[in-house]
């Protein structure tokens, strides 16, 4: 197995002042490409610490991807740390300096003298192109390890990994095959409940069953080598059977994308009215390109479930919409959800615990709840059915 590691740099990352989204993205991207990370490290803007960890990890890792510290300021120390760890000097890369000067000139700007630092790389390093920024990346051999140095700006980092680093890894490790990862997402079942039902599965050699809990959903992942594809595909229907009615989508596109496909295929428009979720459902669906005819956030008001059902039915008619969804305001720990369709109108009253979850989590649960109602109707399933840990206290159909 190839030992691939990542080193994130910067005081702001180390101290939690920014979220290290680059590390999460890289871990996911390399996993899908067959180069899963074995370790991740973080170090601040300290030259001695940077040199020490470069020397340490280059004795253990086959590949180390260093992120950050290639900017023009005094706390950008990655190039100097690399040269120091290798025992060589920094040299000016004339071709990159010229490219930087063109970069600024084409934008009608004068390059500051401090930017010259971004063209200095260790003497033995190979330049790694950055087509969208001024910080050049570079690669060098240190002890047993191939080390890549990349800028911290996410847009530059991702392009560099995809266009420059991955091809080099593919060439160096031509035998690597990406693993197979089958995924499905559930709503309304607990992780322990699902695990209890799936722990008895006999998995093929090298195949693992994984769980990812991210309130309010649980993702199930069957992961294994490409050589076990047939065995994994044969086992997958049993995983889906266990997930049962709680399965809301397969793959990684997400429920809003799945719903959008169904709406577009059936040429159905949708109108939304939100109180408690404050436009969250509209945001999720609009990002997926759903055919939203209208969307509004209205002040909270007390309503019976029958009033909510009649109101959403009338809203569908007055807007000449194919479908209408509504979420009321939170009243005594209760929310009303309603869906109006050409076949009828359904409404559910759900009890939420105000002390158990934050308002953000409750809003996300509510958004998923109403999207799941819509998903079930589009799939020809009963809208009001078993919802697991979601406490449905009343249902109504008109």
Residues 61-108: tens digit of each pLDDT: 999 999 999 999 889 999 999 999 999 999 999 998 898 888 888 889
Mean pLDDT of 233-244: 95
Task: Look at domain 255-397 and name its CATH class.
Answer: alpha beta
Q: What percent of the chain has pLDDT over 70?
A: 99
Cα–Cα dist 350/336, whole Å: 6
Q: What percent of the chain has pLDDT over 90?
A: 75
Domain limits, the chain? 4-172, 180-250, 255-397
Q: What is the pLDDT of residues 292-345, one digit of tens each?
A: 999 999 887 788 999 999 999 999 999 888 999 999 998 888 899 999 999 999
What is the overall mean pLDDT for the chain?
A: 93
Cα–Cα dist 89/124, whole Å: 9
Q: Which residue has the higher pLDDT, 3 or 357?
A: 3
Cα–Cα dist 251/311, whole Å: 35
Return the CATH fold of 4-172.
Molybdenum Cofactor Biosythetic Enzyme; Chain A (3.40.980)
Q: Looking at residue 355, what is its pLDDT? A: 61
Task: Look at domain 180-250 and name its CATH class.
Answer: alpha beta
> Kind and range of the H or E element at 335?
strand 334-341
Lowest mean pLDDT across 156-160, 253-257, 260-264, 383-387? 383-387
CA distances, 136 to each of 34, 54, 83, 94 (Å): 26, 19, 15, 12
Q: Looking at residue 320, what is its pLDDT? A: 87
Based on C-alpha coordinates, what's the Rg of the chain?
26
336 CB neighbour count, 10 Å cutoff: 28
The three-state secondary structure class of 156 is helix
Cα–Cα dist 185/254, whole Å: 8
Cα–Cα dist 287/284, whole Å: 5
Mean pLDDT of 342-366: 86
Mean pLDDT of 266-275: 95
Mean pLDDT of 168-194: 92
Any residues with CB less than 8 A from the CB of 219 and at least 6 apart, and which? 183, 184, 185, 186, 211, 212, 213
Q: Cβ distance 135 to 70 under 8 Å? A: yes
Per DSSP, 251 falls in state S
CA dihedral 99, 103, 106, 112 (to 10 degrees): -110
Q: Looking at residue 301, what is its pLDDT? A: 77
Phi, psi of 234 (to 5 degrees): -70, -30
187 token code pair: 């709503």
Q: Which residue has the tokens 């060439």?
A: 171
Q: Looking at residue 248, what is its pLDDT? A: 93
Q: Which residue has the tokens 């979850």?
A: 357
Exposure string for 35-54, b = 16+ CB within 10 A, e = fewer: bbbeeebbbebeeeebbebb
At 215, the pLDDT band (50, 70, 90 cuts) reads confident
Beta bridge partners of 6: 40, 65
Cα–Cα dist 174/26, whole Å: 20
Mean pLDDT of 167-195: 92
Any residues with CB less than 8 A from the CB of 371 and at least 6 apart, and which? 255, 256, 259, 281, 284, 285
The reply to whether 4-172 and 255-397 are identical in fold is no
- Is the pLDDT at 354 greater than 70, yes or no? no
- Is the pLDDT at 227 greater than 80, yes or no? yes
């Amino acid at each position: 197995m190839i030992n691939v590691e990542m080193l994130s740099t910067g005081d702001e990352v180390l101290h939690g002042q920014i979220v290290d989204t680059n590390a999460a993205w890289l871990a996911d991207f390399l996993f899908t490409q067959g180069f899963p990370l074995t370790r991740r490290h973080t170090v601040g803007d300290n030259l001695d610490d940077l040199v020490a960890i470069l020397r340490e990890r280059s004795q253990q890792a086959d590949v180390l991807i260093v992120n950050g510290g290639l900017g023009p300021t005094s706390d950008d120390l990655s190039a100097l740390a690399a040269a120091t760890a290798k025992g060589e000097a920094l040299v000016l890369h004339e071709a990159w300096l010229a490219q930087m000067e063109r970069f600024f000139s084409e934008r009608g700007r004068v390059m500051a003298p401090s930017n010259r630092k971004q063209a200095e790389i260790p003497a033995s390093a190979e330049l790694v192109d950055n087509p969208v920024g001024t910080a050049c990346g570079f690669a060098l051999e240190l002890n047993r390890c191939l080390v890549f140095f990349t800028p911290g700006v996410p847009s530059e980092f991702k392009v560099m990994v995809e266009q420059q680093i991955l091809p080099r890894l593919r060439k160096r490790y031509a035998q690597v095959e990406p693993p197979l990862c089958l995924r499905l997402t559930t709503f309304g079942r607990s992780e322990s409940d699902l695990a209890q039902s799936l722990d008895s599965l006999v998995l093929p050699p090298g195949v693992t069953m994984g769980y990812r809990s991210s309130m309010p959903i649980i993702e199930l992942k069957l992961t294994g080598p490409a050589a076990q594809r047939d065995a994994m595909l044969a086992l997958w229907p049993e995983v889906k059977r266990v997930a049962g009615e709680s399965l809301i989508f397969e793959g990684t596109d997400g429920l809003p994308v799945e719903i959008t496909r169904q709406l577009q295929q059936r040429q159905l428009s949708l109108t939304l009215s939100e109180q408690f979720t404050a436009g969250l459902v509209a945001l999720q669906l609009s990002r997926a390109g759903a055919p939203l005819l209208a969307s509004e956030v209205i002040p909270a008001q007390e309503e019976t479930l029958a009033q909510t059902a009649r109101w959403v039915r009338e809203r569908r008619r007055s807007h000449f919409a194919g479908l209408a969804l509504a979420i009321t305001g939170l009243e005594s720990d209760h929310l009303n959800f309603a869906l109006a369709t050409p076949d009828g109108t359904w409404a559910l009253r759900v009890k939420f615990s105000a002390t158990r979850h934050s308002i953000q989590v409750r809003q996300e649960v509510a958004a998923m709840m109403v999207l799941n109602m819509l998903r079930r109707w589009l799939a020809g399933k009963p809208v009001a059915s078993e919802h697991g840990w979601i406490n449905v206290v009343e249902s109504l159909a008109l």
